[in-house]
């Protein structure tokens, strides 16, 4: 087998092998608009591409160094590491972060592990001190009927869906520029209110402009008395639906607009003929009040009866050991400052 950088005319063949939105060719185009360097690699056997993945390099401001990432890519193997090391060296990378789209564990309804996969062991990889995605997620099986899906939900979630319907909450898809701007306004309203750090408006607008023509990005809105109360961004790829971003206003919480909106998103995935709905991140089986300020979102997602999964983990492929230690020290304090700054705007 040989691995090489792919040409633009091989985009369709590349995308056939990709399983997550952030690995698509189009997402790489978006990364390029952000000033990052993107390499799409294909693994060939008998002149046929059998595996593909992207690695992107983010320049460290004012320094001649970069950080590489392979997020939600395929399972790591030694050949992948060998090829990426060559590129990372040329890009003067301090390290490359790997976060494979591979489950390590799945859990039953009582949150007991039902499957377990061995963690990859490579001498060149270390467990990363910082993740890009939450290491757990809830995944809803869309092959079930609507009645089965409702039955698998938490009773309070089912009740809140009825409450929203009784109040006349309306849900619609508005995957247009207007719908996106409504969603974006709610997203930053929510972020400011809750004190979370988020990429800039420019970042999100460029992401939308890159993806809106692909049929992969969707905006779902929930309204009450003609006022938009909640907005979700969805991605679909192959047979899977993803929920990366959501936002809600604090008004009229009693009508449970977000709860109905998520249920309508699940039904939307079924309408598209998709098989699973990945909620893009949650806490783990030991989630408890106070965890990272995220437990409310965790409980919200948990209410829809999806299976809790744990990904294989986040690993750093260290290219420059000395600078790697220094980078992690500086990055730790940088994120503490960003969180304090975000909270100061609440």
> In angstroms, rounded to a whole number, what is the distance separating the alpha carbons of residues 169 and 183?
17
Tens digit of each residue's pLDDT (9 = 90 or more) over 117-176:
888 788 889 999 999 999 999 999 999 999 999 999 999 999 999 999 999 999 999 999
Asked if 141 and 305 count as a contact pair (C-beta separation under 8 A), the reply is: no
CATH 3.40.630.30 domain residues, the chain: 2-103+119-129+313-344, 139-310
Phi/psi at 244 (nearest 5 deg)? -80, -35
Give the pLDDT band (50/70/90) at residue 346.
very low
What is the reported pLDDT for 345? 42
Tens digit of each residue's pLDDT (9 = 90 or more) over 324-336:
999 999 887 775 6
Q: Does the CA dihedral 267-158-289-249 come out positive or negative?
A: positive
Tens digit of each residue's pLDDT (9 = 90 or more) over 172-191:
999 999 999 999 999 998 87
Residue range 2-103+119-129+313-344, CATH number: 3.40.630.30
Q: Is the pLDDT of residue 218 over 90?
A: yes
CA distances from 140 to 163, 249, 286, 288 (A): 22, 25, 20, 22
Tens digit of each residue's pLDDT (9 = 90 or more) over 30-42:
999 999 999 999 9
What is the residue-averaged pLDDT of the chain?
Answer: 93
Asked if 114 and 309 count as a contact pair (C-beta separation under 8 A), the reply is: no
**CA angle (218, 222, 228) in 5-degree steps:** 105
Q: Does the CA dihedral 57-30-83-98 come out positive or negative?
A: positive
Tens digit of each residue's pLDDT (9 = 90 or more) over 267-311:
999 999 999 999 999 999 988 765 556 788 899 999 999 999 999
pTM of the model: 0.92
Tens digit of each residue's pLDDT (9 = 90 or more) over 234-260:
999 999 999 999 999 999 999 999 999
Identify the CATH homologous superfamily for domain 139-310.
Gcn5-related N-acetyltransferase (GNAT) (3.40.630.30)
With helix as H, strand as E and coil as C, how does 98-137 read?
EECCCEEEEECCCCCEEEECCCCCCCCEEECCCCCCCCEE
Q: Is the pLDDT of residue 319 over 60?
A: yes
Strand partners, 97: 69, 316
Task: Name the DSSP letter for residue 322.
Answer: H
């Amino acid at each position: 087998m040989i691995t090489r950088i792919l040409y633009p005319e091989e985009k369709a063949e590349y995308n056939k092998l990709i399983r997550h939105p952030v690995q698509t060719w189009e997402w790489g185009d978006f990364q390029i608009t952000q000033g990052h360097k993107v390499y799409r690699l294909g693994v060939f056997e008998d002149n046929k591409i059998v595996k593909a993945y992207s690695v992107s390099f983010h320049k460290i401001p004012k320094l001649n160094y970069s950080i590489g990432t392979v997020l939600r890519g395929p399972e790591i193997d030694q050949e992948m590491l060998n090829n990426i090391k060559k590129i990372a060296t040329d890009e003067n990378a301090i390290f490359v972060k790997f976060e494979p789209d591979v489950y390590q564990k799945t859990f039953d309804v009582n949150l007991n592990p039902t499957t377990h996969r061995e963690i990859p062991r490579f001498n060149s990889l270390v467990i990363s001190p910082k993740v890009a995605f939450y290491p757990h997620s809830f995944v809803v099986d869309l092959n079930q009927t609507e009645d089965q899906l409702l039955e698998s939900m938490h009773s309070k979630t089912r009740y809140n869906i009825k409450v929203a319907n009784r109040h006349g909450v309306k849900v619609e898809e508005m995957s247009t520029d207007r719908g996106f701007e409504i969603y974006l306004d709610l997203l930053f309203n929510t972020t400011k209110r809750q004190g979370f750090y988020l990429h800039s408006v420019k970042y999100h607008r460029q992401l939308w402009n890159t993806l809106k023509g692909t049929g992969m990005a969707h905006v779902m809105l929930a309204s009450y008395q003609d006022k938009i109360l909640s907005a979700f961004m969805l991605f679909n790829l192959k047979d899977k639906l993803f929920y990366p971003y959501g936002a809600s206003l604090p008004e009229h919480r009693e009508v449970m607009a977000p709860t109905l909106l998520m249920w309508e998103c699940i039904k939307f995935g079924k309408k598209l003929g998709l098989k699973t709905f990945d909620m893009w991140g949650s806490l783990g089986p030991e989630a408890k009040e106070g965890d990272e300020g995220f437990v409310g979102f965790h409980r919200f997602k948990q209410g829809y009866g999806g299976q809790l999964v744990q990904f294989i983990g986040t690993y750093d492929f260290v290219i420059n050991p000395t600078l790697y230690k220094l980078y992690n020290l500086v990055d730790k304090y940088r994120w503490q400052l960003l969180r304090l700054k975000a909270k100061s705007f609440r």
